[in-house]
Chains A and B, each alone.
Chain A
Amino acid sequence: MAHAAPKHRQLPDKESKLFRELLTQYELKQYKKGIKAADTILKKFPNHGETLALKALTLHSSLPEPLTVSAVPKKEEAEAMARLAIKKDITSHITWHVLGILAKSRKDWDEASRAFAMARKQDPDNIPLIRDSIALLTHTRQYPAALAARHHYLLLRPQIRSSWLALVIAHQLNGDLEEALKVYDDYQSTLKEEGATGPEKSQILLHVIRICIEAGKDQEGLDKLRQGVRDGIISPRGECTLLKAQMLANLGRQEDALQTYQELLEQNSDNLEYYKGYLKTKGIDLNVELTDESRSKILETLSTFAETFPRSAAPRRLALDYSTGDKFRELAKAYIIKGLERGVPSLFVDVKGVYTDSEKMKVVGQIVEDIVNKLEQDASLGDDGSISPPTMLLWGYYYLSLHLSYPLQPLPNYTRSLELLDKAITHTPTLPELYMAKAMVLKRSGDLLNAAYEMEKARLLDGQDRFLNGKSAKYWLRAGEVKKAEELLAMFTKKDLTPVQDLTDLQCLWFLQEEGDAYRKGGNLAMALKRYQALVTVFQDYEDDQYDFHTYCMRRMTFGAYVSLMRYEDQLRSHPAYFKGALAAIEIYTQVFDDPSITEEKISPEEEAERKKQAKKAQKAEAKAKKAAATSGEKNDPVVPDSDPTGIQLLKSETPIDDALKLWKPLERLAAERVETWLSGYEIFIRKKMYLAALKSLKSSQSISPSNPKLQYQILHFHQITSTSSEDIPQSIKSVIEKELPSLLTTSPDEFSTSLVDKANTPEEIYYAAKGLSVISPEGKQKIKEVLLKLGDSDVIPHIIYMEKSLTLLQSIAPEDVEEVHKKYRERCPDAWVFVSPSEKEEKRKGYESGLEGFQGEQNKEDEKKQ
């Protein structure tokens, strides 16, 4: 002990003994005893900071997880007590440590990291403090500070292997690869004794080799790798050999690198990276426009591989990407015939990758048409007289139906697709895939309800299959039938939870997005926002989950996986699921900002009745729980309920645009290459009157996608806003706008808008051209209507979403014209559910319902026959 404790911290012998007991009781999880001991001390010394802190910690640790209603005030008490403890004793490592632990349990990493830093100031050599600190500093990406703490730790524990190796990683994360390698060499010369297990040694060495590669030291890495394999430390299977191939290629040793890729392919001939690595090493860059010469080189290589690895589809499939013309026709035909013979349901999804080339899409269509035609006449396909399997025609119909209705088709033929599927169903009425395909075709045609009924048939054919169950639920959600979807999902979720709760707990992203979309389409923005925010929370959990691994991976020595985790978490929110959910939520927030009245609930009488019923039920349950609690003491202490079950509090946010900005922020950095990020950013900044940020968004969009239709509209909008509210804008900002805007708005606004209208061909262009018009000359109703009518023209690909948006736009400008435009859209998309009138909907629904009943009747008869 260097210093005596300050006076206010000293306790008489009796209390001092109690204090030590309190520490032990906390560690042994004897929380009740601990609290009692603390209370005894506090009775005499109510201002003893360290006792207050330990009581707070003990109380906090005793609370149930998840938190129950009766525990809420105790938690608040513990938090307040921990803060009070700091006030009473600001120089104690214990009071700061406790504050840090409580913050950590709230997952408030920043506050925890600050509190731990304070605690370490008081007690610099405290090992557990340093260990937790390192995790927190790493978690919050304070790499230099984490490195310093690691260094300190090594000085205190130089004989432990993991303190050396963890320092290597700390240097790597801090971006200093040279120093990382140096520490590794020092470690090797310092700690000679054996002790790590075989797999641990392998993890360590492989990772050091990775650092060598990152540092550009391929020769050093290669030497280490060779030695490691020779000594039996690392196995030449998988990653080790891939690293070897990459190092050899970097060192210009082409022949050896090719040989190594060959070895990799022998280990796994379905790995595309191996094929691509092989081709790249051969000097063929797949990322640039290929010459005829490199094409034939690629195809030659792939065809050799196809012979060597007959069970792998990869070389034959890759050849479809790199061949053209007659060669493509020949290869595609062979590939498709093989797939149809085997009855591979995913053949279409597999081959449609080439459809981005419209010529290839046409050729594939012809090939399949030919096959189907021949098989309809004769069971033999080839000239050799061999008989094709009877299911081949069925899978031919299946493929063709998906092909003809594919969204990239200039003229999708839904009717023929459905006819083909009906033929296939007559052939084999019990194959769920055929009904799934029918559902997909109907969905593409816009007939969402009919699609859901068809998917439901697929589900009924195999009720034990969760995939079909989920698909059917998804289709019901798309048709706006939330309740029906949840009923189905409940068949595979925990019985003691609602399906929504279970799927949220399990982080089921697709469900949260789809149900959010369903609510949004149905006008229930509050519930939509609630689902989107739940999705955003899942990503927060994904981020928080990494915390334990800062310590764990150092112990397990899985450094390579750990470093990938750190890099992955840094860009976590670039994940498409976050992107989609966040953008949808942002749109709702901007809507609320524009018109706060939409947060006033408009609920139908049915919903009203349902709610009353639910409220009554809840009341009853509560009364029952209270009664039970009164009789059985603490036992009936329910978990804290959701404070916003309808999402209305979320929707009624006082700060909708700030909420939107919070969701958008991660995208600015992580999805900066996507134009949607900046299109969405503009909508936020213009509402916040942050004109320069809005301008920057426009310019970023322009650099990614200069002709993006929505961007053109936003440019006009920006001009309109900044020129009409110009007295609110400071001169300095105005002059920037005046300087920068001409690079976006290259002509007068009128000319700009007219040229957009003239050039508009795609549905998106047409809609935004009209929207642009509505901004600069809202009085030109006639013109806007004319533009919007074009969406229904026969030479424009029908696009239901833009038609819907157009009707909404028109409703706000010229409601008297809506009927005319609606009529034209309806004629163009006769099946689109959104244009069908309520009475027609009822009629159709009845038809589908009886169709489903008939189907079920048939099923039951079949089942009886079997028994």
Chain B
Amino acid sequence: MDIRQATIDDLIGMQNANLLNLPENYTFKYYLYHALTWPELSYVAVDPRGRIVGYILAKMEDEPSPNTEPSGHVTSISVLRPYRRLGLANKLMKQAQEAMVAHYKASHITLHVRKSNRAAISLYRDTLGFEVHAMEKGYYADGEDAYGMRYMFNKKSEMESSS
């Protein structure tokens, strides 16, 4: 599968993949907001027919407080069920992370995950190296709690931020 930076032309396809795969959905304008604010951060996986089969929709924390380091955030990541076992999520995540560091000097990246979504938690923790750093009560529209997960781009900055 082709993996490349998402462009405006890809947003409808990303919206479609998101609606097929995940219960958290957004209208088109929210995708536009991402692409027109942080154009380098979102990536897509595309099948030979040009269909978007996986994507990562990513952003930076928009208004960081003065003394914190820039932080990236994954709004949504998903790979259509038939396209699993190709390591696409891993590749998409890696591309987005490198872009966050290169273009925005991000020190770490965060994301939210449903407390009940064991498969996703294990992907983020075991495959992608994230750690749970917070629990957010009633984060989702239906009242479910979210885990806040975080991945430090280098351990040095982690020590700095915890000291």
Chain A residues packing against B (C-beta within 8 Å): 198-199, 202-203, 235, 237-239, 267-268, 270-273, 311, 313-314, 342-346, 349-350, 353, 433, 436, 465-468, 470, 492, 494-495, 503, 505-510, 541-542, 545-546, 548-549, 552-553, 556, 558, 560-562, 564-565, 568, 575, 577
Is B16 touching A492 in the complex (CB atoms < 8 A)? no
- 26 of the cross-chain contacts (CB-CB < 8 Å) are A199-B104, A235-B102, A235-B103, A237-B98, A238-B5, A238-B40, A238-B99, A239-B5, A268-B4, A271-B3, A345-B83, A346-B1, A466-B22, A467-B81, A470-B19, A495-B142, A503-B19, A506-B19, A507-B28, A510-B16, A558-B36, A561-B36, A564-B7, A564-B8, A565-B32, A568-B8
Q: Which of A271, A311, A344, A552 contacts B2 (CB 8 A)?
A: A271
- As a 0/1 sequence over residues 80 to 103 of chain B, the CB contacts with chain A under 8 angstroms (1 = contact) are 111111110001000100110011
B63 interfacial by beta-carbon distance below 8 Å: no
In the complex, chain B residues 11-52 whose Cβ is within 8 Å of any chain A Cβ: 12, 15-16, 19-23, 25-29, 32, 35-37, 39-40, 47-49
Is B36 touching A556 in the complex (CB atoms < 8 A)? yes
Q: How far, in angstroms, from A349 to B85 measured CA to CA in the complex?
A: 14
Contacts of A506 in B (CB 8 A): 19, 25-27
Contacts of A541 in B (CB 8 A): 27-28
Is A467 touching B20 in the complex (CB atoms < 8 A)? yes
Which interface residue of B80, B87, B142 has the most chain A CB atoms within 10 A? B87
Query: Looking across the interface, which residue of chain A has its beta carbon closest to that of B40?
Result: A238
Contacts of B40 in A (CB 8 A): 238-239
Contacts of A548 in B (CB 8 A): 29
Is A558 touching B86 in the complex (CB atoms < 8 A)? no
Contacts of A344 in B (CB 8 A): 85-86
Is A267 touching B12 in the complex (CB atoms < 8 A)? no
Q: How far, in angstroms, from A560 to B87 measured CA to CA in the complex?
A: 30
- Closest CB in chain B relative to A567 CB, distance in Å: 8
- As a 0/1 sequence over residues 44 to 79 of chain B, the CB contacts with chain A under 8 angstroms (1 = contact) are 000111000100000000000000000000000000
Is A549 touching B36 in the complex (CB atoms < 8 A)? yes
Query: Looking across the interface, which residue of chain A has its beta carbon closest to that of B60?
Result: A199
Q: How far, in angstroms, from A270 to B37 measured CA to CA in the complex?
A: 25
Contacts of B36 in A (CB 8 A): 549, 552-553, 556, 558, 561-562, 565
B9 interfacial by beta-carbon distance below 8 Å: yes
Is A545 touching B102 in the complex (CB atoms < 8 A)? no
Is A238 touching B83 in the complex (CB atoms < 8 A)? no
Q: How far, in angstroms, from A223 to B137 measured CA to CA in the complex?
A: 52
Chain B residues packing against A (C-beta within 8 Å): 1-5, 7-9, 12, 15-16, 19-23, 25-29, 32, 35-37, 39-40, 47-49, 53, 80-87, 91, 95, 98-99, 102-105, 141-142
- Closest CB in chain B relative to A417 CB, distance in Å: 17
Is A345 touching B85 in the complex (CB atoms < 8 A)? yes
Is A465 touching B81 in the complex (CB atoms < 8 A)? yes
Is A237 touching B99 in the complex (CB atoms < 8 A)? yes
- Closest CB in chain A relative to B65 CB, distance in Å: 15
Contacts of B16 in A (CB 8 A): 509-510
Contacts A238-B5, A466-B23, A507-B15; A202 near B103 (Cβ below 8 A):
yes
Contacts A353-B49, A568-B8, A577-B12; A558 near B85 (Cβ below 8 A):
no
Q: How far, in angstroms, from A577 to B82 measured CA to CA in the complex?
A: 22
Contacts of A313 in B (CB 8 A): 1, 86
Is B86 touching A545 in the complex (CB atoms < 8 A)? no
Q: Which of A199, A436, A494, A561 contacts B103 (CB 8 A)?
A: A199
Contacts of B12 in A (CB 8 A): 509, 542, 575, 577
Contacts of B1 in A (CB 8 A): 270, 313, 346, 350
Q: Which 7 A-B pairs have the closest CB atoms?
A: A270-B3, A237-B102, A561-B39, A353-B48, A235-B102, A467-B81, A272-B2
Q: How far, in angstroms, from A548 to B25 measured CA to CA in the complex?
A: 21
Q: How far, in angstroms, from A448 to B157 measured CA to CA in the complex?
A: 57
Contacts of B32 in A (CB 8 A): 545-546, 549, 565
Q: How far, in angstroms, from A221 to B81 measured CA to CA in the complex?
A: 43
- Closest CB in chain A relative to B3 CB, distance in Å: 4
SS of A interface (majority): helix
Is A342 touching B85 in the complex (CB atoms < 8 A)? yes
Q: How far, in angstroms, from A202 to B41 measured CA to CA in the complex?
A: 14
Is A468 touching B81 in the complex (CB atoms < 8 A)? yes
Is B80 touching A467 in the complex (CB atoms < 8 A)? yes
Query: Looking across the interface, which residue of chain A has its beta carbon closest to that of B10?
Result: A568
Contacts of B5 in A (CB 8 A): 238-239
Is A545 touching B4 in the complex (CB atoms < 8 A)? no
Contacts of A465 in B (CB 8 A): 81
Contacts A235-B103, A505-B27, A509-B16; A558 near B81 (Cβ below 8 A):
no
Which interface residue of B16, B21, B48, B87 has the most chain A CB atoms within 10 A? B48
- Closest CB in chain B relative to A670 CB, distance in Å: 13
Q: How far, in angstroms, from A350 to B1 measured CA to CA in the complex?
A: 8
Contacts of B80 in A (CB 8 A): 467
Is B81 touching A568 in the complex (CB atoms < 8 A)? no
Is A560 touching B2 in the complex (CB atoms < 8 A)? no
- Closest CB in chain B relative to A813 CB, distance in Å: 39
In the complex, given contacts A199-B104, A238-B102, A268-B3, what are 10 additional A-B residue pairs having Cβ atoms less than 8 angstroms apart?
A344-B85, A346-B1, A346-B53, A467-B20, A492-B23, A494-B141, A507-B27, A556-B37, A558-B37, A565-B8
Contacts of A199 in B (CB 8 A): 103-104
Contacts of A198 in B (CB 8 A): 105
Contacts A268-B95, A545-B28; A470 near B104 (Cβ below 8 A):
no
Is B103 touching A466 in the complex (CB atoms < 8 A)? no
Contacts of B82 in A (CB 8 A): 345-346, 349, 433, 436
Query: Looking across the interface, which residue of chain A has its beta carbon closest to that of B80?
Result: A467
- Closest CB in chain B relative to A310 CB, distance in Å: 12
Query: Looking across the interface, which residue of chain A has its beta carbon closest to that of B117?
Result: A464
- Closest CB in chain A relative to B129 CB, distance in Å: 17
Query: Looking across the interface, which residue of chain A has its beta carbon closest to that of B2?
Result: A272
Query: Looking across the interface, which residue of chain A has its beta carbon closest to that of B39?
Result: A561
Query: Looking across the interface, which residue of chain A has its beta carbon closest to that of B53?
Result: A346
Contacts of A271 in B (CB 8 A): 2-4
Contacts of B19 in A (CB 8 A): 470, 503, 506, 508, 510
Q: How far, in angstroms, from A84 to B3 measured CA to CA in the complex?
A: 57
Contacts A238-B40, A239-B5, A549-B36; A349 near B47 (Cβ below 8 A):
yes
Q: How far, in angstroms, from A658 to B15 measured CA to CA in the complex?
A: 32
Query: Looking across the interface, which residue of chain A has its beta carbon closest to that of B45?
Result: A270
Is B102 touching A314 in the complex (CB atoms < 8 A)? no
- Closest CB in chain A relative to B102 CB, distance in Å: 4
Contacts of B25 in A (CB 8 A): 506
Contacts of A508 in B (CB 8 A): 19
Query: Looking across the interface, which residue of chain A has its beta carbon closest to that of B47?
Result: A349
- Closest CB in chain B relative to A463 CB, distance in Å: 13
Q: How far, in angstroms, from A667 to B15 measured CA to CA in the complex?
A: 23
- Closest CB in chain B relative to A263 CB, distance in Å: 13
- Closest CB in chain B relative to A332 CB, distance in Å: 14
Contacts of A562 in B (CB 8 A): 36
Contacts of A346 in B (CB 8 A): 1, 47, 53, 82-83, 86
- Closest CB in chain A relative to B38 CB, distance in Å: 8
Query: Looking across the interface, which residue of chain A has its beta carbon closest to that of B85?
Result: A344
Q: Which of B20, B47, B91 contacts A470 (CB 8 A)?
A: B20
Contacts of A268 in B (CB 8 A): 3-4, 95
Contacts of A558 in B (CB 8 A): 36-37, 39
Query: Looking across the interface, which residue of chain A has its beta carbon closest to that of B83?
Result: A346
Contacts A239-B40, A346-B82; A542 near B28 (Cβ below 8 A):
yes
Q: How far, in angstroms, from A581 to B16 measured CA to CA in the complex?
A: 16
- Closest CB in chain A relative to B57 CB, distance in Å: 14
- Closest CB in chain B relative to A412 CB, distance in Å: 20
Contacts of A202 in B (CB 8 A): 103
Query: Looking across the interface, which residue of chain B has its beta carbon closest to that of A348?
Result: B82
Q: How far, in angstroms, from A272 to B2 measured CA to CA in the complex?
A: 6
Q: How far, in angstroms, from A564 to B85 measured CA to CA in the complex?
A: 33
Contacts A545-B29, A560-B39; A270 near B81 (Cβ below 8 A):
no
Is A345 touching B99 in the complex (CB atoms < 8 A)? no
Contacts of B53 in A (CB 8 A): 346
Contacts A466-B20, A506-B25, A509-B16; A345 near B8 (Cβ below 8 A):
no
